[in-house]
Structure 1
Amino acid sequence: MMPPMYSLITGASRGIGEAFARTLASEGHSLILIARDLQALTALQQSLTAQWGVKVVVIDIDLRDPNATRIIYERTQKEGWDVDLLINNAGFGRFGEFDSHPVDDYVAMVQLNVTAPMVLSHYFLRAMRERGQGAIIHVASMAAFQPTPYMTVYGATKGFLRAFSEGLAGELRDSDVRILTVCPGLTDTHFFIAAGADLTKTLDAAPKMLTPDVVVKESLDALRRGTMTVVPGLKNRIVAFLSSAIPHRIGVPLAARILGRQFKDQPHQR
C-alpha cells in the first residue's frame, strides 16, 4: 500500500493558509500545517479532522528562525511524510518609510518571505521529480510587479519570490512537477493588522478586498490548468497588467504619491 501524500502549508493558522487547509481537507488531502500559533493550529487540526476525517499534522515553529526549515524537513523524513504539494504562504510586511522600522524587522522579513520558501522548495523538489509528480505554490503579492515605496522591503521580497518561482517553473516546464506563483491583491486577512497598517486613506481607491476562499479557489484552479502565475480577481488582474506595462520611472513616483498619503508620516519605531 502506498503511503499517503501530504500537502504542507506554511502560515496555515489563519487567512489564506487556513483557507488552503480547509479546501484541501475537503478534497481528502492529508496535511502538514506550519505556523507559530500552536493554539490556532490545534483548533484547526481538530476542526478538519472532525469534519473531513483527514490526517492533519501540526508543527508550531517560527520560520524566521534560520534553522526552522531544516527542522521541518528532517521531521518529514523521520516520520515518512512524503510531500507532493508544498504551499509557501507564510510572510509578513511592514509599512512606512524604510528607516521607520528596526532593521531586525527587515532581516526577519527576508528570512521568512525569501529564504524559507526557497529552502523548502529545494528540500522537497528533488523527491517530487523522482516520483514524477508534485507541485509547489508560492504566495507572492501584487507588490511583486513594481517597486513599492513605503513597503519597500516587503515589495522587494515578493518581487524575488515571483522571479524565483517563475524561473523555477521555466526549468520544470517539461517535467511533471508544477510551479504556481500566486499574486494576491488586498485580501481580507490578519496581514494588515499584523503589519500595523491603517489603510483608511487608500482602500477607497483600491479594488475591493477578496476573501481568502476566493484567492484559494482561483489559485487551485490555476494550478490544475498548468498556469504559471495567477492574480486572483479580475480588477486585480487589470491593475497587475497596468503595473507591469508602466515604466518604473512613471510607476514608482505615482505609487510614492498614492502610498505616501497613507504611510509617510507614521511614527518611527526603534
Structure 2
Amino acid sequence: MYGNENFTLITGASMGIGKAFAFECASRGMNLLLIALQEPRLEETKEDICSKYPVEVVTYGADLTEPSAVTALFQYCLQQKIKVNILINNVGMGAGGRFENISPDFYLQMLNLNNQVMTMMTYYFLPMLKESSSAYILNMSSMEATLPLPYKSVYTGTKNFIYAFSLALREELARSNVKVSVVCPGPVLTNPDGLKRINSHGKRAKLIMLMPEEVAKIGIKNLLQGKGVIVPGKVSWTIVKLMKFCPTSLKMKMLERVFRVYRDH
C-alpha cells in the first residue's frame, strides 16, 4: 500500500522513449509506476533507476492490448492505493510499406495499441487524476500526425488520432486541474530497426534525429509548463510550421518522394 504518495504512470516504460521518460521523471523526484510487457528489462529498468534516484518505483507487467488489461491495471492501482497524478501514454508501434503488403492482423494490433489502449487508459485514470490538486496527461504522437506519410498510412492515421484526441480533450479539461499535452517528435533513435529506417533517408533524416533522452527532457519540461503541442527539436518544429503553408497536393507529392524508400519494406 502506497498511501498518499503520487505516482507518474508510464506505459511502454522498459525501452526507448518510455524508458527515457522514466529516468527523466525520476531525476525530478517523481515516484514511478512503470508499465511494459513482463520481460526482464522491465525489472532491470527499475533496478537501474533505484540505484540512481531516491524514488519509489513500482513495475506492472502486462500486454495492454489484451481484453480487460487496462481495467485490471486500474483495479491494481486502487487496491494498492497508488495515486496517479501524471499519466504518460507512451506505448505504441509502427511499420512502413505499401498499405496492402502488411497483414490485417498487424494493423488491428497497431490500432489497438496506439489508439484503443491510450483512449481507455485516459478514460479509466481521468477520475483519479481529477482528485489531485495538479495533474497531467502526456500523449505520444509524432510530427507525422500533421504530415500524412505515404507508405506509413495506418501509422500516421493512428498518430493523427492521438494528436486530435489530445487537443480536443485539452479544451474539455481547460477549466479543470488536469493539463493535457501531446508530444510530436520527428525521427528518434530507439532501436536497430529505427536506425535502419533513419539511414534509408540519408543525411536529411539525421538532421532532425533526436535521442530518446532529448525527447523525454523536452517533453517533461513542456508538459509541466502546460504547453499543448510539443515538437522537440528546432528543425522538426520549423518543418511542421512551414508545412502548414504548403498546398496539400504539393505537400503530399513531396512526402511521397521522400518516403518512397519505404515502398518495398
Using the size of structure 1 for normalisation, the TM-score is 0.92
Residue 164 (structure 2) aligns with: 163
Equivalent pairs counted in the alignment come to: 263
Deviates more, 1:144-153 or 1:206-215: 206-215
CA distance in 1, matches of 2:94, 2:223: 26
CA distance in 1, matches of 2:131, 2:58: 24
Shift of 1:68: 1.7
Contact 2:167–2:182 (CA<8 Å) still a contact in 1?
yes
Residue 136 (structure 2) aligns with: 135
Q: Report Cα offsets for 1:73-129 as digits up to 9, x if no partner.
A: 111111111100000000010100011111110100011100111111111112222
CA distance in 2, matches of 1:188, 1:171: 34
Using the size of structure 2 for normalisation, the TM-score is 0.94
**One-letter code of the match for 1:181?**
V
Please give the root-mean-square deviation of Cα atoms over the aligned residues, in Å.
Answer: 1.8
Shift of 1:64: 2.4
Residue 201 (structure 1) aligns with: 200
After TM superposition, list the pairs within 5 Å mapping 1:209-228 onto structure 2: 209-228=209-228
**One-letter code of the match for 2:256?**
A
**One-letter code of the match for 1:139?**
M
Shift of 1:37: 4.7
After TM superposition, list the pairs within 5 Å mapping 1:166-205 onto structure 2: 166-190=167-191, 193=193, 198-205=197-204
Q: Secondary structure at the match of 1:245?
A: coil
Contact 2:3–2:82 (CA<8 Å) still a contact in 1?
no
CA distance in 1, matches of 2:52, 2:147: 42
Contact 1:219–1:232 (CA<8 Å) still a contact in 2?
yes
CA distance in 1, matches of 2:73, 2:252: 38
Contact 1:146–1:244 (CA<8 Å) still a contact in 2?
no
CA distance in 2, matches of 1:252, 1:166: 24
Residue 155 (structure 2) aligns with: 154
Shift of 1:42: 0.4
Shift of 1:38: 2.1
Q: Secondary structure at the match of 1:219?
A: helix
Shift of 1:65: 1.9
Deviates more, 1:8-17 or 1:205-214: 205-214
CA distance in 1, matches of 2:248, 2:74: 39
Instruction: Could you tell me which runs of 5 or more consecutive residues in structure 2 were left unpaired when the two chains were aligned.
Output: none
Q: Secondary structure at the match of 2:215?
A: helix
CA distance in 2, matches of 1:199, 1:131: 41
CA distance in 1, matches of 2:27, 2:246: 41
Residue 120 (structure 1) aligns with: 121
**One-letter code of the match for 2:215?**
V
Contact 2:38–2:60 (CA<8 Å) still a contact in 1?
no
After TM superposition, list the pairs within 5 Å mapping 1:25-40 onto structure 2: 25-40=26-41
Q: Secondary structure at the match of 2:7?
A: strand
CA distance in 1, matches of 2:171, 2:164: 11
1:234 equivalent to 2:226? Answer: no
Q: Report Cα offsets for 1:139-164 as digits up to 9, x if no partner.
A: 10011002211111000000000000
CA distance in 2, matches of 1:26, 1:221: 12
Instruction: Could you tell me which runs of 5 or more consecutive residues in structure 1 were left unpaired when the two chains were aligned.
Output: none
Residue 243 (structure 1) aligns with: 243
* Distance verdict in 2 for CA 1:201–1:139, change over 3 Å: same
**One-letter code of the match for 1:255?**
L
CA distance in 2, matches of 1:199, 1:237: 18
**One-letter code of the match for 1:63?**
L
